[in-house]
Amino acid sequence: MPQLHIVNLEHAQSIKDARTATNPVTSGRPALWRRATAEIIDRLVPLPLMALIFPRWTLAVLAYHLLCDCTPARRSFGKWCCRLRVVQASSRRDCDRWRAALRRIGSALSQTAWCLWTGIPIVLLYELGSLACVLLSAEGRRPEDYLAGTRVVTEQAYRRSQSQR
């Protein structure tokens, strides 16, 4: 004879929330290959090559990398290609422009250092440390994301969170 189980709905919802938070597909955490591809695309924008040829372009490289996530959609060209977006970590709403710029400080400085060929060992440590944070963090956040209160999510997760509001 089948047994009848009474389920506490609050407990069931908390279990579902816990599973959703740790599941990369439903949490919006992008796959590592998407983050890496977006970063490579952003670094291959012609500005760094121009800075190697014309050192005065180094300021343009710095400005681009600081402001690339400050577009109205809060994503750089690389994030647009990989369907990623920068949002506030707590609410998944669009982040402020200053938060988007703040989260790019490390990348902007490291890209500038690569263009000038200065401080390369420090830049390598920073890059490896950021990669470790992305791999070890449950939400895939870099140190600058914690500083700015932001995170990178897939476009699908962003649209889903916006439609639930």
Tell me the C-alpha distance between 7 and 70, whole Å.
46
Residue 110 within a domain: yes
pTM of the model: 0.76
With 80 as the cut, is the pLDDT of residue 158 above it? yes
Number of domains in the chain: 1
Residue 98 within a domain: yes
Neighbouring-strand partners of residue 94: 87
Task: Determine the structural domain holding residue 86 and report its residue range.
Answer: 33-163
Q: Could you tell me the pLDDT band of residue 24, with boundaries at 50, 70 and 90? A: very low
Q: Could you tell me the pLDDT band of residue 46, with boundaries at 50, 70 and 90? A: low
Residue 16 within a domain: no
Residue 45 within a domain: yes
**Structure confidence at residue 60 (pLDDT):** 86
Residue 130 within a domain: yes
Residue 11 within a domain: no
CB 140 within 8 A of CB 116: no
Report which of residues 21 and 131 the model is more confident about.
131
Q: What is the DSSP letter of 57?
A: G
Q: What is the pLDDT of residues 99-157, one digit of tens each?
A: 999 999 999 999 888 888 889 999 999 999 999 999 999 999 999 999 999 999 999 99
Residue 18 within a domain: no
